[in-house]
Amino acid sequence: MRHTDRAISTAVSAETIERELEEGLDRPPDAVARYALGLGDDALILAQRLGEWIAHAPELEEDVALGNIGLDLLGHARSFLTYAGSAWGLGEDDLAYFRDEHEFRNHQLFERPNGDFAHTIARQLFASVYFDALYRRLTSSADPTLAAIAAKALKEVEYHVDHSVQWVRRLGLGTDVSHVRMQAGLDAMWPFVDELFRPDPSAAGLEGVAVPPEELRDPFDRTVPAVIAEAGLRVPDIPAARGGGRDGMHTEAFGHLLAEMQVLVRQHPGATW
Amino acid sequence: MSASAERQRPDGQQRAEQQAAEQHETWPLWEVFIRSSRGLSHVHAGSLHAPDAVMAVRNARDLYTRRGEGVSVWVVPSSAITASDVDARDAFFESAEGKEFRHATYYTASEGVPHL
């Protein structure tokens, strides 16, 4: 079976990709796999962060909302990692659980600690608008599997944008305390926005397949500042952080996240439940 | 006074609860109605807390439509619902008892009526 046999955008998942690979779907070339790895890591690490909110959100309903968004992202991550790993004879679990810090390619924004609810919402706004712009473009990738994963993810990410926008508005225009906290959240996450739009070595040389990150800055700038202004908040004027996530450089908080994500499978290899 | 009768006539306690909700001490309660893709009407699915109507629709989507249950969601403030008194149900619904003639099955079709 070739890529083109698949009905693109209909509920593509890690399982369907795995099955089609077994049935003869083309494995990605190394360069495409490395690009997919970065996209998978972005979604995986943010999913792990959102999972930390379970049982800790301000209300039960918000617990479920953040958990849902995290699970959507985990689904995207599994698809990207399954596809990427097939180039190297590795499964999604090999990539998620048996790599160390410097081998992860996620942007640093996604590993930033949750902070308070407003910090998480600020990070989610930036992340969701970025994913929305990225997947919108990736749906026309020359690689049909990447295009299919993006089409599935896009429908879910559109809702994630809405969720963040609603909360930025409510916290920004809510009480004095919520306003101050929302601004503090935006300020804390802002330095990590710039990295999302820097040239990505794993996207270079994949014209038509990968989306050049530089081209995503424009849709981001057309959306995010307006959302911030409508909420009575100000767009932070804070220098960008050093970045380097795509090269395996991460912030101090990342080691703790990985330890928690990987401890079970490393202590009990092969465990299932 | 029964709980349901209390709902019909807001008293001091209910007003205090509304004020507390308005001050964001607790989120108000909403009733959720879902219409399935093949359903003709919205059916009560449950209730949830949300700060306002817009967020209530989103929370309802997350809580009650994760498995493709619905194509349309309504939310209604629980405080907007006037309920009958559960404790007075015997008297309230008694008059339907013993009146079988209110059901179509009570009647027999007369001979010679072709299309009944």
Predicted pLDDT at B15:
63
Q: Mean pLDDT in chain B? A: 80
Confidence check: pLDDT of B59 > 80: yes
Residues B49, A60: C-beta atoms closer than 8 Å: yes
Domain range A7-267, CATH architecture = Up-down Bundle (1.20)
At residue A96, the 3 state secondary structure works out as: helix
Confidence check: pLDDT of B21 > 70: no
Q: What is the mean pLDDT of residues A28-45?
A: 98
Cβ atoms of A129 and A161 closer than 8 Å: yes
Domain range B3-106, CATH architecture = Roll (3.10)
Task: Give the amino acid at A271.
Answer: A
Q: Mean pLDDT in chain A? A: 94
Residues B48, A61: C-beta atoms closer than 8 Å: yes
Q: What is the mean pLDDT of residues A131-142?
A: 97
Render pLDDT for A162-205 as a digit per residue (tens, 0 to 9). Answer: 999 999 999 999 999 999 999 999 999 999 999 999 999 999 99
3-state DSSP of A41-87: HHHHHHHHHHHCCCCCCCCHHHHHHHHHHHHHHHHHHHHHHHHHHHC
Cβ atoms of B83 and B4 closer than 8 Å: yes
Lowest-confidence segment of A149-163, A194-208, B58-72, B98-112 by average pLDDT: B98-112
CA distances from B24 to A138, A163, A167, B12, B57 (A): 41, 19, 15, 19, 18
Using the Cβ of B64 and the Cβ atoms of chain A, whether some distance falls under 8 Å is answered with no
Using the Cβ of B57 and the Cβ atoms of chain A, whether some distance falls under 8 Å is answered with no
Shortest CA distance to A40 belongs to which of A93, A4, A89? A93
Predicted pLDDT at B3:
44
Q: Which residues of B touch A61 (CB under 8 A)?
A: 27, 48-50, 59, 62-63
- Number of neighbouring beta carbons within 10 Å of residue A120: 24
Shortest CA distance to A97 belongs to which of A255, A247, A259? A259
pTM of the complete model: 0.85
Angle, vertex CA A27, rays to CA A22 and CA A30, nearest 5: 150
Q: Which of B22, B47, B62 to mutate to test the interface with A (most CBs of A within 10 A)?
A: B62
Name the residue with tokens 């909403």: B30
CA pair distance B26, A53, nearest whole angstrom: 20
Count of CA atoms in the C-beta half-sphere (13 A) of B26? 10
**B16 to chain A nearest CA, in Å?**
20
What residue spans define the domains of chain A?
7-267
Cβ atoms of A99 and A116 closer than 8 Å: no
Predicted pLDDT at B39:
82
- Smallest Cβ–Cβ distance between B62 and the set A65, A174, A175 belongs to A65
B51 to chain A: closest CA residue: A170
Using the Cβ of B27 and the Cβ atoms of chain A, whether some distance falls under 8 Å is answered with yes
Residues A175, B51: C-beta atoms closer than 8 Å: no
Task: Give the amino acid at B105.
Answer: T
Q: Which residue has the higher pLDDT, A196 or B84?
A: A196
- Smallest Cβ–Cβ distance between A65 and the set B24, B54, B59 belongs to B59
Render pLDDT for A64-85 as a digit per residue (tens, 0 to 9). Answer: 999 999 999 999 999 999 999 9
